[in-house]
Structure 1
Amino acid sequence: MEISQQVFEMVITLEGRLGFRCLLLSLLLFAAWEAGSGQVHYSVPEETKHGTFVGRIAQDLGLELAELVPRLFRVASKGGGDLLEVNLQTGILFVNSRIDREELCGRSAECSIYLEVIVDRPLQVFHVEVEVKDINDNPPVFRVKEQRMLIYESRLPDSLFPLEGASDADVGSNSILTYKLSSSEYFALDVKTNGGDNTQIWLVLRKSLDREEAPEHSLFLMATDQGKPELTGTVQLLVTVLDVNDNAPSFEQSEYEVKIFENSDSGTILIRVNASDRDEGENGEVSYSFNSLVPPTVSDQFRIDTNTGEIAIRGNLDFEKVNLYKIHIDAKDKGHPPMAGHCTVLVKVLDKNDNVPLITLTSISLPVREDAHSGTVIGLVSVSDLDSGANGQVTCSLTPHVPFKLVSTFKNYYSLVLDSALDRESMANYELLVTARDAGSPSLSTTASVSVEVADVNDNAPAFEQPEVTVFVKENNPPGCHIFTVSARDADAHENALVSYSLVERRVGERALSSYVSVHAESGKVYALQPLDHEELELLQFQVSARDAGVPPLGSNVTLQVFVLDENDNAPALLPPGPGGAAGALSQLVARSVGAGHVVAKVRAVDADSGYNAWLSYELQPAAGGARSPFRVGLYTGEISTTRALDEADAPRQRLLVLVKDHGEPALTATATVLLSLEDSGQAPKASSRASTGAAGAETAFVDVNVYLIIAICAVSSLLVLTLLLYTALRCSAPPSEGTCGPGKPRLVCSSAVGSLSYSQQRLQRVCSGEGPPKTDLMAFSPSLPPCPVAADTGEHQDLNDDHCSKVSVNFHNYQLIFILKCYCFPQVSIYSLLFLKI
């Protein structure tokens, strides 16, 4: 430190002199080197955690903690990055990030991190060496996962085969490896170390190999280092044993015996000998041949296939000349040198009936019509045999279970006749097999086949899969729309199975069926000729006829029930307002004294659709200017009632817009205008006498109407009871008439638990005539209909609207009497029914 101070003072003295600038720089470098000539040594294990203590570097370098920051204490690493760091508050050197010795120094025996500690004011440089010590963190690693070796089975015991060892990235004792081989009776391990890291590993053959017993051996070589804890690595050794020719071909039997009849055809195979060789490749490929000691009589009569070992006849065998042959067979492999196996084949020639019968078919009359009668002659069969005696006596038979039989007409002559009825649809072709067998021992037989085709006749009518088909079609379909395809199958063939389709014409109401639908004669496709309207026609029932082209033609019908599904194509229609209302609007006087919840008017509407499409709801449109109206409308009843008590601030004339909307997709709407005039209760006496007189007259008129209504109810009820009794008596006394039709059943479509009650718009087309059986009403229904509505108040009923009915309504007091005309198809009888509702 004193030397550095003196040098610094000398520099200041000579600062102004230009000639000493180079000397100044040299002295500064010398001072810095002189100050940092000391070196500190530390050691730290690799893979230590962040913050691990390395050493008290400030204390070891003789620096005060308080001067570390003012003097700009800093550490620079040579190639070590930011692995180490110094805490300037404590002066402690600690591990800043993971230190991997193998990554830092590889397999070098020594590994250190060199740090330069620099402080200023005055400048000082210190050298610090941090030795990184190795730990056993790397297991032995083999270059490959498995080592394959090829060894001939002829290799002698104690043969050596080199193996590739493992490597360990650690150093010192952590990288010293020992090897161990898995247990094996054939192999052992020999490890030789020639100093340093030069270790040679050998696989030693302890026992002779036999490929036929074990063609492959699987071993495991394990390497273990000497670190603590010990780490291991494993590689699989796959030893494939290569074959050598050490097995001769072997026959299944040493002697084979074969019996064959004389005059057997040339090329007939007597036997196929088989020899197996346990070797593989060419060492196991076997070829067959006659032994060199075989006499010419054998080689002239027989031949052997060198590849398959099949022995076949070459000439004509004759029992009377030679009845026994003894053949010696050799089987050789293709090894070096080749090895051979031997066997003997004894061929015994048997005497036989060597002439087979001969079958001749003549006068075959084909095809046979399926309506041919039993006993019809199909053809003639004759048989013959060149042998004599019992060997020449021939019997003839026919394939069983066929509708034909053979009838003997003369010696060795037969007629082929029909034995039972034919059905081409069950079996269109018969393959008859005629067998002729002689009486020889053993007997010989021959066969001849006859293909008998059955000709079709038109005995099957076209048949539909179902006698009745239900089709659903949405209304408003485009003209010419394809709605269904009928299909009938005819079991016959050719023109007898050619089916054409047509409509069974009938009347639908006042129009012909052909104006609604048509059917394509060839394809059976049914088209709607015009748009269908659910409100006019819910069900279109008709028949399609299928006829074949046979002579005479046969046919059948299928009934199509076409249900026209409703679509939301009708907007709600408002019923006319009551007397005194303006055209297109409902006017009503309302006293200002009414309380909350008082019903002041009611909007009535109907919808020509069905189901959800006819389910109506009512909404009150907001007033102009955003003012809040003291009235509300029932969501499903259409009743307009007060939401609060009326006061003087309410306008004397209230114009309400009620939106009537159905539940179709998309929804259709209508708007009703309701004009309400608010009057004070005290103004009622100021009404004109003419109004009082009118009211009194109205009450008198209502009384008169009540009398007439009671009389009408009694009269119509009596007429209804009388008609029912008369009809019941006629039905019980007279036989059932085919010209009567049962009463139609109207269908109530219930829109919602709180919805308006309405009859769906059903116009069932029925024709009641004196011809044909009674027809049952058929109704289309919309899927997923909601449950029937329940009135929220027992004193309130929902609207009933049915455009099938002619109705007349009369209002009096709190009741409305509606006359509804229902048309039932009784003979010459029309009945009126009444519905009495409270409103």
Structure 2
Amino acid sequence: MTKTMGYRGWRWLALWWHHFFLLWSTINGQTRYSIQEELKQGSVVGNLAKDLGLRLSDMFDRKLRVSSEADEQYFSFDAGKGELVVNDRIDRETLCGQSASCVLPLQVVLENPLSLHRIEVEIKDINDNSPSFHAEDMSLKISETAAVGTRFPLEGAEDPDVGSNSVKSYILTKNDCFILKMKEVEDGKTVPELVLEKPLDREKKAVHQLLLTALDGGNPVMSGTSQITISVLDVNDNFPVFDKSTYKVSFGENTEKDTFVIKIGATDADEGSNAEVEFSFALRTPDSVLSVFEINSLTGEIHLKGALDYERATSYKIEITARDKGVPENESHCRLQIDVGDVNDNTPEIVLTSEPQPVREDSPSGTVVALINARDADSGNNSKVTLRLPRGSPFTLKPSFSNNYALVTSGPLDRERFSEYNIEITATDSGSPPLSSKKIIPVSITDVNDNPPVFTQPSYNVYLKENGVPGSILYSVSASDLDFGENAKISYSILDSKVQDVSVSSYVYINSDNGSIYSMHSFDYEKLKVFQIQVQAKDQGSPSLSSNATVHVFILDQNDNAPAVIYPSSAALGSLSHQRMPRSAKAGHLVTKLTAVDADSGHNAWISYKLTEATDASLFTVNLYTGEVRTKRAVSEQDDSSQRLLIEIKDDGEPVQSATVTVSILLEDGLHEPILDLRQKVSEPSKKTGRITLYLILSLASVSVLSLVTFLILAVKCMRSSRSSDSCCMTRSDCDNYKNPNRNLQIQLNTDGPIKYVEVLGGDMLSQSQSFRSCMSPMSEYSDFTLIKPSSTTDFKEVISVLDASLPDSTWTFESQQVSRIALCNFISVVEYGAPIGFRSVQRDLLPPPRSLSTVLSYIAPS
């Protein structure tokens, strides 16, 4: 009982010292732990969190993981306790064989930021294997003439354990002739030898049965046995003798098969069959040697049978037996050492320690993308690996330790140019010739909102008919964004601005998703001819980016205004005009002249006059274009004293708009003709007529001078601007860019109809357009013209009165008047600091002096 308790005490004491030294090694090594093999799953190796100086929360946040360079993961990490624990059964003999040191390297990877730690776990041996012999039965044949002291080498036992747990001693069963001694060989190993202590006598004992026991140094001691059968032979008392006890040769691992290695020589002093020697590999030669080398039993020549591989075995130590053919056979042993030289036959390997992470395109230089490890199975310079990236790549490799590298950014990134990089890394060793391998690492670039939306055009022109349906689409603008995802989603809006002192949002609205612009109500050309919209496209990035485009909306005129009569003024009030004329009037007598205007423009404002009803249709006629009411024949006594005419006034639009005027004419006897008196007064130059003529000459002269000055100013400015442009043209776009880009000027000249007119639009695009219209009737005998400056073209309160007078009936024919009267409209616009002034005049230099005065002097007003 006392003995048993003492044994347990020693056991607990040994276990305490083991844990003490294990703990001491862990604390001092920081990243090195020592454990015994065969520990149970879940056994604690060490507190990894404490040794790395990390909190438990850091383990979760930084996604700590442990990886092993071995094929199997023997360890795992307990995130709850921060401990490194055993994950699977660890057999030291399987991992490291007979190596004195068995260390498992581990890699601890932490993310955010990426970092790598190297952990080494030393696996200590325990006595879990007993010694074993290659053969459970060994046979020896010994001649009876063998001398005392002759040594017979025996097969040594093998124990996978190392150190004190390996084979330490041998025991031979007691017998009369043999004793056991140990022989030290290379590498500090010892093998048992059977020593003949007394001469053999086959006649006394032909066979000796011995039991060889191998003991290891573990606690408790483990053993293995092998039965030795010794047959005593007669006569043949000489052994083969080798030329050398040890042979050494060296070959490169790239040596070809069937290559001659070496020839082993041995001689035997006997004669006859006892001197014939056969060579062979020893019985305990492993299969790894037999598969690579072969020996000629007669000549002793050894050839290469398989391929040499330095990475599998750097050296072969082979025991060769020379046996004669005597009876009994005698054999001798020698050792052959074949060293294998390394050849650069393994390409480097690139291993990703961590998968590459997506990189923002605005990441600074030096941002870690991935961790890389380079390996080469060769040795020496053949295992030194150099990594290389292609030129022009915005990445570089930053060396860490033990062939570990960090792939980091080295330049600016642009996702719009390259959304993903396939980085080709080339690994090259230092062998001769060098070998290389390549690995492609994909790195995706995440988007940053660094591109504003871009419209398809900087400005858009939209032409819209007036009186459209509210809510109809005007135009659709479109913008694109080079960014991705939310950064490329675009919303459209209209920037606030004023149109006729009203917010533009009251005129139009825009679909924020597709950029379609809709009208809020119908437009009236006579009130608003042109306006502009500032459209903004904004992406949904953070911060968001935007760009603007201008949409110019031009309102197109429709025939929506009927002609309005402005003379006679009584007709404008009640559509009824009372006129008087003498009964003595002759054919061609001018009764009256109707004057009407149309608020529309272009063809829609061309006016024609037509007599639709008359008391006597044979007496009166109405000029289609001038509205002049004349007699077709001389008035007779039989004609009624009261004549009634219904005159229809139509425009040239589609559909036609019209108005009617009723003219009541009273024929009176003895009524003097004021027109003739006026003609006489005109024919005789008076002071008043001369004064008016002087005024006309001064007006025409001033207009001409202003025209010349304006032309010179424009020519000088055009010459200056021509230095930076190819041409100088007085186009609307040029005027827009001249001095004030927001000032617009439109001149519309219409000459393809019975009414000749010039329409001038001036002012800002966003302010109400101001127009000057001059209407000249080529069919009119007096070339009267009307100048209208409407702020609202439907307002006809500002009307210039017209003085009518009659010319003699025989002065001019109707056709000659048409040909000779040419109305030339000059428009001069002097733009200075945004204040245009418009002038119009009619030159009648091609007409003869008028017989009567019916002149409307100009209407000059600033626009």
Q: TM-score range by the shorter chain?
A: 0.3 to 0.5
If the length of structure 1 is used for normalisation, what is the TM-score? 0.46
If the length of structure 2 is used for normalisation, what is the TM-score? 0.45
